[in-house]
C-alpha cells in the first residue's frame, strides 16, 4: 500500500518513479521514428553504437572529365589530413571544410558546395566515429553519379553509376574496430544533379527481435546481395543463357523482334541492325550473327513486318528497311516519317514503334535533359501516331522518358516512363488519345496539336489554373514557367498510372512492356505483362485488371541476375524470352556493357503470387500452387500503403506511409486464393504486401514474398 501511494504521488507530481527493488533498464531498445532510416539510427544510438551522425567534412572539387577521377586516387584517398591544401579542378584551391548540412538518412545536395562546378567533378566526404566494440556495420548508400567508399583506409565499394541519387541504391559493409574509425566517401559527378545518400543499417550484434521489428514496420528495399540470392532461386524455373556475339558486334540493344522464319533481329544504339540465326539453338555455338543494316542514328526500336521488311525508329525518323534481294542485308532505306523535331540534345531519344491492326505506328519521344527548355524541338514529350502512308498526328502528351511502348493482347496501348522531373517514380500508363500524362515540358506544343481547342476551353474556364489569368500567358510559356499551374488532380485529362513501380524495390529504369502470348510455354503467367529494368538488370512481372473500366493491378519481381541492363524483350516461337541489353551512358548492374540473354522455362513451376485482385473489402491473392494451410499462421501477411506527390522534382519519396489494418485471411477451397480484408481502402495509393513465409502443399517455399498493387478505382 505504501509503494502504491508513493507511485501515485510521484505520477501526480510528474516525477519518474523507479521501484527500488528493480534494476535500471538495460541499454538497447527499438526506437520507431516513423521511417526506416531514422528508426535505424535512433535504435543504434539506443544501443550506444555509432549511427554516423555528427560532424562531416568535405573536400573538392577535383576533376572527373571523361570519368578520369573515378579510378584516380586523389590525395584524400591516400591520407586524410583536415589541415591539408590540395590543387583541385581548374586549379582551384581545395581544403577540408565542415559540412554543416550533412544529414544521414536524407538525400544531400552536393551541388550547393561548389555552385561554379556543375559537370565532371569529384568530392570527398569524411566522417570519424568512435565505437565501443568491433563489429560489421551495414551502410545504405545512394549517389549521383559514381561512388567509392573507404573504411579505415580500405576501399569497400567502387561502383560506376550514371543515375539520380536515391536511398538504398548500394550496400557496403564497414569493418568497425573498437575505438576511432574513419569513413571516406567519394562521389564522382558527370552532369546534371549531384547528390549522395548515406545511412547505417542495424548490424547482427543488435538482437534479432529488434531487427525483425524494424523490417516488419518498414520493409527493406532489395539490395544487390538479396538480388543475387533471388537469382539463384529463380534459376530453377527460368534458366538463363548468354548468347555469344560476333567479334565485330557491339550489341547495345535498342530494339528486338523475331521474324516469321524464327530468326531474330536486333537494332543497336550504334546504329546497326543484326540478324541472328538459330537464336534458340541448344548449342550456342550454332548461333550465328550477320549485319543486316548499318548507318542509322541510335536505333531504339524495331517492328518486323516480314522476313524482308523491318521498320526501325531512329532518333530523327521512322525508317523502312527492305532486303529486296533476300540475301540477308537491307538494300533499301525509306523514310516513312521525319516530322518530329531533333535539337541535338543527347537525351532526345525516340522509342517504338508499336503498330495497331490498321497499320498505324506509335512512337514515343523523349524530352531533353537539364538546362533550358526540355522540349526544344516539336513533339518532344509526346506520343505521335504515324499512318501507313507516313502522315504524323500528335496522339498524347506529358511523357518524359517513355522507353517502351506496346500493345496488349486486347488491343489497348501501354507505355512505361522513367523517374525524373514530374515523374516521381517509374510507372506504366494505359495510353489514350488526347490524354495528358504529367510531364509539363511537352505542353509547349499543345497549341499546334488537334487538342488545342479543348485545352484552351479548360484554360479559359480556369479548370487548369489557380486563379491567375491564363490569357495573360503566352502558349509558349507552357512547360517553362508553370508555377501558376495547379498540381494534380486539377488536370482533367491527366490519367493516373495503372502501375507505380516502387523505386529500387521494383527497378530504377523501366523499359519495354511485353505480354506473354505463348499459351503457357513460358510457364504459369500466360497473358501477363513482363517489363525489363535497364538499371537493375532484372525482368519484372505485371498482372493488370480493370475496375470500373480503369486499368490497375500489381507488379512483382520475376527474374534477377542478368548480366546487363534489360532494354528490350522479345518472345521466341518456342516460348522463351530474349532480353536485349545495354548500359552505355545509363549504367546498370551485372558487370557487362551490353549483350543478349535468353530466359527459358524449365518446366518446374515456381511457387509465387500469380495475381492480386481488388475486392470490395480488401484483396484476393491467387497463387500458382495450393497453399499449405498449416504454414499460414495467424497473420500470413502484412499490408502497408503510401502515395506520391506530383512535383517538378527529379523523382521523389513515398509519402504518407502507413500500416494497414488487416483482418482474418480466408483460404479458398482449392487452396490457391487467399482473401484478405483490408479496412479503409483509398484511391491513389500503392498497397505493399509482405508475406510471412507461407509454403505450398508440396513444401515449396514462396519465391517472392512481396508485391505492390496500384489502386485507382474501388469496387462498387
**HSE-up of 494 (CA within 13 Å, CB side)?**
19
Digit-coded pLDDT (tens) for 65-117? 887 888 899 999 999 999 999 999 989 899 999 998 899 999 999 988 988 88
Least confident of 34-38, 69-73, 177-181, 182-186: 69-73
Give the contacts of 304 (CB within 8 A, at least 6 positions apart).
257, 258, 259, 260, 265, 310
For domain 52-207, give the CATH number.
2.60.120.380
> Which of 520, 592, 530 has the alpha carbon at shortest distance from 557?
530
State the chain's mean pLDDT as an integer.
88
Give the confidence band of 150 by pLDDT, cuts at 50, 70, 90: very high
Angle among Cα 370, 375, 380 to the nearest 5 degrees reads 120
* pLDDT value of position 466: 39
Tell me phi and psi for residue 233, to 5 degrees: -70, -35
| C-alpha to C-alpha distances, 625 to 76, 223, 628, 700, nearest whole angstrom | 56, 28, 9, 9
Residues 6 or more apart in contact with residue 253 via CB below 8 angstroms: 266, 267, 268, 269, 567, 568, 580, 581, 582, 594, 595, 596
Measured between alpha carbons, how far is 157 from 172 in angstroms, rounded to an integer? 6
**Residue 2 pLDDT greater than 70, yes or no:** no
Q: How far apart are the first and last CA of the chain?
A: 59
DSSP assignments along 551-568, one per residue: EEEEEEEEE---SS-EEE
pLDDT at 50 over 80: yes
Integer Cα distance of 568 and 531 in angstroms = 9
pLDDT tens, 430-479? 999 999 999 988 888 988 999 887 776 665 555 554 333 333 343 334 43
**How many other CB atoms are there within 10 angstroms of residue 550's CB atom?**
14
Of 678, 670, 673, the C-alpha closest to 694 is 673
What whole-number distance in Å separates Cα of residue 76 and Cα of residue 72?
Answer: 11
DSSP 26: P
Whose cell is 524482308? That residue is 308
Q: Where are the domains of the chain?
A: 52-207
Which residue would you say has higher pLDDT here, 647 or 377?
377
The conformation of residue 448, written as its DSSP 8-state character, comes to G
What is the rounded CA–CA span in Å between residue 696 and residue 625? Answer: 6
Other beta carbons within 10 Å of 626: 17
Scan for cell 577521377, then name that residue: 69
Smallest CA-to-CA distance from 260 within 302, 304, 291, 322 is with 304
Name the region of 578 (left: φ>0; alpha: ψ -120 to 50; beta: rest): beta
Rounded to whole angstroms, how far apart are CA atoms 182 and 150?
A: 8
pLDDT digits (tens, 9 = 90+) for 197-241: 999 999 989 998 898 888 888 877 654 445 555 666 899 999 999
Q: Quote the pTM value.
A: 0.70
Amino acid at each position: 500500500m505504501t509503494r502504491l501511494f508513493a507511485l501515485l504521488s510521484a505520477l501526480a507530481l510528474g516525477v519518474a518513479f523507479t521501484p527500488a527493488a528493480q534494476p535500471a533498464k538495460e541499454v538497447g531498445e527499438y526506437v520507431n521514428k516513423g521511417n526506416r532510416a531514422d528508426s535505424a539510427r535512433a535504435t543504434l544510438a539506443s544501443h550506444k553504437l555509432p549511427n554516423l551522425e555528427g560532424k562531416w567534412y568535405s573536400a573538392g572539387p577535383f576533376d572527373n572529365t571523361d570519368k578520369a577521377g573515378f579510378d584516380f586516387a586523389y590525395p584524400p584517398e591516400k591520407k586524410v589530413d583536415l589541415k591539408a591544401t590540395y590543387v583541385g579542378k581548374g586549379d582551384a584551391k581545395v581544403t577540408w571544410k565542415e559540412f554543416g548540412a550533412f544529414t544521414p538518412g536524407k538525400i544531400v545536395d552536393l551541388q550547393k558546395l561548389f555552385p561554379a562546378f556543375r559537370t565532371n567533378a569529384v568530392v570527398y566526404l569524411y566522417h570519424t566515429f568512435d565505437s565501443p566494440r568491433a563489429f560489421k556495420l551495414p551502410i545504405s548508400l545512394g549517389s549521383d553519379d559514381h561512388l567509392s567508399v573507404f573504411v579505415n583506409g580500405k576501399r569497400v565499394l567502387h561502383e560506376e553509376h550514371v543515375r539520380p541519387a536515391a536511398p538504398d541504391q548500394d550496400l557496403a559493409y564497414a569493418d568497425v574496430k573498437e575505438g576511432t574509425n574513419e569513413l571516406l566517401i567519394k562521389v564522382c559527378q558527370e552532369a546534371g544533379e549531384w547528390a549522395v545518400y548515406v545511412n547505417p543499417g542495424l548490424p547482427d550484434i543488435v538482437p534479432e527481435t529488434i531487427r525483425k521489428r524494424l523490417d516488419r514496420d518498414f520493409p527493406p528495399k532489395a539490395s544487390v546481395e538479396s538480388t543475387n540470392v533471388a537469382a539463384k532461386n529463380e534459376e530453377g524455373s527460368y534458366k538463363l543463357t548468354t548468347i555469344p556475339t560476333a567479334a565485330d558486334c557491339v550489341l547495345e540493344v535498342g530494339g528486338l523482334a523475331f521474324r516469321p522464319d524464327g530468326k531474330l533481329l536486333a537494332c543497336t544504339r550504334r546504329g546497326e541492325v543484326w540478324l541472328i540465326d538459330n537464336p534458340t539453338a541448344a548449342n550456342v555455338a550454332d548461333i550465328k550473327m550477320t549485319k543486316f543494316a548499318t548507318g542509322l542514328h541510335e536505333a531504339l526500336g524495331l517492328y518486323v513486318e516480314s522476313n524482308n521488311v523491318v521498320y526501325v525508329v531512329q532518333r530523327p525518323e521512322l525508317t523502312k528497311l527492305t532486303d529486296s534481294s533476300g540475301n540477308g542485308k537491307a538494300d533499301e532505306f525509306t523514310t516513312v516519317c521525319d516530322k518530329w523535331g531533333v535539337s541535338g540534345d543527347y537525351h532526345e531519344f525516340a522509342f517504338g514503334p508499336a503498330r495497331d491492326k490498321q497499320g498505324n505506328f506509335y512512337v514515343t519521344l523523349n524530352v531533353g535533359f537539364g538546362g533550358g527548355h526540355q522540349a526544344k524541338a516539336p513533339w518532344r514529350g509526346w506520343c505521335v501516331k504515324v499512318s501507313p502512308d507516313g502522315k504524323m498526328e500528335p496522339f498524347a502528351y506529358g511523357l518524359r522518358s517513355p522507353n517502351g511502348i506496346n500493345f496488349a493482347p486486347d488491343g489497348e496501348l501501354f507505355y512505361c516512363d522513367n523517374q525524373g522531373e514530374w515523374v516521381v517514380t517509374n510507372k506504366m500508363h494505359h495510353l489514350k488519345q488526347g490524354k495528358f500524362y504529367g510531364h509539363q515540358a511537352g505542353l509547349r506544343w499543345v497549341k499546334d496539336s488537334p487538342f488545342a481547342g479543348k485545352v484552351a476551353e479548360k484554360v479559359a474556364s480556369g479548370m487548369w489554373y489557380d486563379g491567375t489569368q491564363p490569357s495573360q500567358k503566352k502558349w509558349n510559356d507552357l512547360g517553362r514557367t508553370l508555377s501558376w499551374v495547379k498540381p494534380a488532380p486539377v488536370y482533367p485529362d491527366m490519367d493516373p498510372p495503372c502501375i507505380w513501380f516502387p523505386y529500387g524495390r521494383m527497378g530504377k529504369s523501366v523499359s519495354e512492356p511485353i505480354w506473354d502470348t505463348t499459351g503457357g510455354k513460358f510457364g504459369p503467367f500466360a497473358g501477363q505483362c513482363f517489363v525489363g529494368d535497364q538499371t537493375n538488370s532484372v525482368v519484372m512481372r505485371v498482372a493488370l485488371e480493370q475496375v470500373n473500366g480503369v486499368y490497375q493491378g500489381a507488379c512483382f519481381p520475376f527474374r534477377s541476375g542478368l548480366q546487363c541492363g534489360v532494354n528490350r524483350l522479345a518472345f521466341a516461337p518456342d516460348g522463351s524470352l530474349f532480353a536485349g541489353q545495354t548500359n552505355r551512358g545509363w549504367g546498370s548492374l551485372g558487370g557487362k556493357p551490353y549483350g543478349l540473354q535468353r530466359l527459358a522455362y524449365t518446366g518446374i513451376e515456381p511457387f509465387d503470387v500469380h495475381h492480386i485482385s481488388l475486392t470490395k473489402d480488401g484483396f484476393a491473392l491467387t497463387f500458382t500452387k495450393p497453399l499449405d494451410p498449416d504454414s499460414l499462421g495467424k497473420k500470413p501477411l502484412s499490408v502497408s500503403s503510401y502515395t506520391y506527390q506530383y512535383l517538378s522534382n527529379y523523382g521523389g519519396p513515398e509519402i504518407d506511409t502507413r500500416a494497414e489494418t488487416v483482418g482474418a485471411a480466408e483460404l479458398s477451397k482449392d487452396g490457391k486464393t487467399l482473401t484478405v480484408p483490408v479496412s479503409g481502402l483509398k484511391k491513389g495509393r500503392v498497397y505493399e504486401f509482405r508475406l510471412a513465409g507461407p509454403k505450398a502443399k508440396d513444401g515449396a517455399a514462396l519465391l517472392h514474398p512481396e508485391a505492390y498493387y496500384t489502386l485507382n478505382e474501388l469496387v462498387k
